[in-house]
Chain A
């Protein structure tokens, strides 16, 4: 399967713990995006990378959140000192850098539950 892969698919953690999610984009895609989706809402933009450069961060991305894409391939999203409000589906997507309006391909997401 050459689609966007996210790991883990589900994560249950206790409040205050740190969690890290991984995203493997489609191999030839230079752009990688992170979104968060809460129940009954559409996905909300968190951040995106072009190659290893993080080009934009949403105000939703508090200082407890950090994302990396060290070699321009896979990316990690870490949440420190998790709170119950962090419970959501975290979606990763990738797209080719060239060509405006090209499709973004989404992974199946990581569902985080903070108890």
Chain B
């Protein structure tokens, strides 16, 4: 069965410093992986997705993630945090090899950004 583990429930950074949100996955085949962001009182928004093309995936708002099969990881990074990045971030694996019939979410990482 597919699953994702987000290694940190809460990450706090200062504005202008790098962001690293960690995610490990478990999948019996080549997975499709996603990062979604959830701002308070707003819907989930897709940041980026990995679909077995390039292992380094660039997303919106300066975020990127690298798929590392040997480490079963898909960590989300951003070189310089902005106050508007404060939100909940979810790592997601697709259950059907990318059909999105069933998205499996991690428990989320809350990102705080200090001025």
Contact = CB atoms under 8 A, between A and B. Distances in A.
Interface of A: 3-4, 31, 33, 35, 40-45, 48, 55-56, 91, 93, 95, 100-109
B107 A40 contact: yes
Interface size on B, as a range, is 20 to 34
Contact of B43 (A44, A56, A102, A106): A106
Given A43-B105, A100-B100, 18 more contacts: A35-B105, A41-B107, A41-B108, A42-B105, A42-B108, A43-B90, A43-B103, A45-B103, A45-B104, A56-B102, A100-B32, A100-B98, A101-B49, A103-B46, A104-B46, A106-B36, A106-B45, A108-B42
Interface of B: 32, 36, 41-46, 49, 51, 90, 92, 94, 97-108
A91 B105 CA distance: 13
Contacts of A107: 43
A100 B42 contact: no
B108 A4 contact: no
A108 B41 contact: yes
Contacts of A93: 44
B44 A91 contact: yes
Contacts of A91: 43-44
Contacts of B106: 42
